[in-house]
Amino acid sequence: MALLTINTVPDPILRTKCEEVEKIDESVRDLVKDMLETVDDPGRAGLSANQVGVLLRIFTYNVGGKLGYIINPRLTYKSGQQDGEEGCLSLPGLWFSLQRSSFARAEGIDLDGKKVVVEGKGLMARMIQHECDHLDGHLFTDRLQGKERAKAQAAIRNI
């Protein structure tokens, strides 16, 4: 296993939609293991495959002492609202206030091809939505509005 290098803005891979995993082979197994090791660090809640240079629909997470992964996740349900500060490993040091759903559920598969459901509220819900956005080629700053969006755009220009 290895700690992976995290791509940062303005790397164009972060704006590229990831492809479904068609076949779970050794390279996918190794990627998941390496992503789990990389996300298993204090202050890291989630990590998508395109953040480490791979255009596959996979994300790993480390929320509330729960370490896991999901392959081919699809956001299937969300409800409620929460306000909070959000950051991103691909935008180091930048945090902005963003409203997200307070509950989210994603469905996908595991390394054995079995159905997996990842769901939760609070930080877990925020992470699920954030990582699904990454896999579709979007950054959390794309969802900002008004003054927060202007602050983010100015900060990103200075990266």
Per-position pLDDT tens, the chain of length 159: 688 999 999 999 999 999 999 999 999 999 999 999 999 988 899 999 999 999 999 999 999 999 999 999 999 999 999 999 999 999 999 999 999 999 999 999 999 999 999 999 999 999 999 999 999 999 999 999 999 999 999 999 887
Query: Residue 56 carries which side chain, given as an amino acid letter?
Result: L
Active-site residue 148, yes or no?
no
Report helix, strand and coil shares of the chain as percent, to nearest 5.
Answer: 30, 35, 35
Q: pTM for the full model? A: 0.96
Strands (E) across 101-145 are located at: 103-109, 115-121
Domain ranges of the chain: 12-157
Q: Are 44 and 64 in contact (CB under 8 A)?
A: no
- Catalytic residue, from 20, 26, 37, 131: name it: 131
State whether CATH 3.40.50.300 applies to domain 12-157.
no
